[in-house]
Amino acid sequence: MDGGAAVGDPVTFARATIAGAGLAGLSAAVRLVEAGLTVRIADSAAQAGGRCRSYHDPQLGLTIDNGNHLVLAGNRSVAAFRATIGAATPLAGPDHADFAFADLASGDRWTIRMNDGVLPWWVLSTRRRVPGTGALDYLRLAGLLTGAPGDAVGDRIDATGPVWDKLIAPVLLAVLNTPPETGSARLTAAVLRESLLRGGKATLPRIAEPSLAAAFIDPALAWLAARDTPFTPGRRLRAIETLGDRATALDWGAGPEPVADDEVVVLAVPPWVATALLPEISAPDAFHAIVNAHFAIAPPDGAPAMLGLLGGTAEWLFAFPDRISVTVSAADAIVDLDREELARRFWADIQSAYRFSAPMPAWQIVKEKRATFAATPEQDEKRPAAATRWRNLFLAGDWTRTRLPATIEGALRSGETAARLAIGARTR
């Protein structure tokens, strides 16, 4: 016997332990505390935030994010989470769904200007769509919404032509962090249904400014602290003991600590950590890199908040008041390059994109070799559900079965799901 409640006892969980203080873990913690559970949360890192972390960089003399994480105005879990924790710092972004692009090789520039409503009449306007395209060119995108569950994007639509090259490919590369033609059509369709198909207002890009910490992490920690929910940094979960259908003990490095009968465990760690702790679970095992760069210089007047680039090394530029930041998705080909070489390449792209010339300022390169799982149909199938075969143990993370790519929205939803299942769970 494992010392737990007898089968069939209607015991509700009264407390929770959460391993991992990224957005998935924080989301789960907030929802569990709301439901009246006593919660404790720990993370192996020195600070909360996981991949969405901010820190003061002495080389730049600035507080920066590890990467540039974009959300959309229609992201319901982002809005709900921020409302609950009282996040006062607004997310920055344009009043309309405008996406500016520049081709550094040809010199061409264009801006996609989506209308606010659901009917996409913007494709009828030559001033709003990709130059050199017609309205009928956009009809083929409907193919992304139908087909077999295991289809890649390239199986459903023709991955060629100006609409693909100048709009769909760069956007999907950023959304999926996977070469877009090999990305999951099912995940792509889910994103389209929650953004483009709901109109421009739902597709408004939103950026955490001045930082991810200010927009998400700090207010979440403050909200939890005000409700006597401790966060312990620098505490790594090293082992989980199970017996029958329960997790029975957690080892944080000082020996096993029993899991109480009324205690639920939420594992909100990266997939490779989760499978090391629980080899029985399925999880994605292929990943793509992201490379980010930050330059300590104010952008030129009139620079768009976001600028998509073609024909260079940099893919997206983000203009903050005190810095210019670069993001390259699915960056496996450049992630191992020398940091200074990357900085020089990016700075050359920035000068070309913004049409100015200046000595390279202080810079920082941030590399994430396993930034997200590869969002292919094969890897999507390996994503586990939040519920496990252990009735008091649940999974959270953007790599779990959220039906979205690895995004902030997906991470927050995974925490909501784990909390909802824990709140409603009963012993079997």
Structure tokens at 281: 């679970």
Distance, CA of 5 to CA of 7 (rounded, Å): 7
Structure tokens at 313: 């090394």
Distance, CA of 372 to CA of 86 (rounded, Å): 28
CA distances from 161 to 98, 114, 164 (A): 21, 20, 5
Q: Residues 37, 409, 289, CA angle at the centre, nearest 5°? A: 115
Contacts of 113 (CB under 8 A, 6+ apart): 96, 97, 98, 122, 125, 127, 128
Distance, CA of 37 to CA of 132 (rounded, Å): 57
Closest CA to 29 of 315, 356, 267: 267
- Helices H / strands E in the chain, number of each: 12, 19
Distance, CA of 155 to CA of 227 (rounded, Å): 50
Q: Torsion-angle region of residue 48: left (phi > 0), alpha (psi -120 to 50) or beta?
A: beta
Distance, CA of 156 to CA of 181 (rounded, Å): 9
pLDDT in tens, the chain (428 residues): 233 333 344 448 999 999 999 999 999 999 999 999 999 999 999 999 999 999 999 999 999 998 888 899 999 999 999 999 999 988 999 999 999 999 999 999 999 999 999 999 999 999 999 999 999 999 989 999 999 999 999 999 999 999 999 999 999 999 999 999 999 999 999 999 999 999 999 999 999 988 999 999 999 999 999 999 999 999 999 999 999 999 999 999 999 999 999 999 999 999 999 999 999 999 999 999 999 999 999 999 999 999 999 999 999 999 999 999 999 999 999 999 999 999 999 999 999 999 999 999 999 999 999 999 999 999 999 999 999 999 999 999 999 999 999 999 999 999 999 999 999 874 33
In the prediction, which pLDDT does 251 show?
98
Per the listing, tokens 């559900």 go with: 385
Distance, CA of 120 to CA of 198 (rounded, Å): 9
What amino acid occupies position 229? T
H or E stretch at 339:
helix 339-354
Closest CA to 342 of 328, 354, 352, 353: 328
Structure tokens at 398: 């953007």
Closest CA to 268 of 16, 20, 8: 20
Return the half-sphere exposure (C-beta side, CA atoms, 13 A cut-off) of residue 365.
21
Distance, CA of 112 to CA of 384 (rounded, Å): 36
Domains with residue ranges and CATH for the chain: 15-52+213-285+376-424 (3.50.50.60), 118-203 (no CATH), 287-373 (3.90.660.20)
Contact predicate 188/195, CB 8 Å: no
Contacts of 272 (CB under 8 A, 6+ apart): 283, 285, 370
Contacts of 110 (CB under 8 A, 6+ apart): 100, 101, 130, 131, 166
Distance, CA of 106 to CA of 365 (rounded, Å): 27
Distance, CA of 5 to CA of 195 (rounded, Å): 45
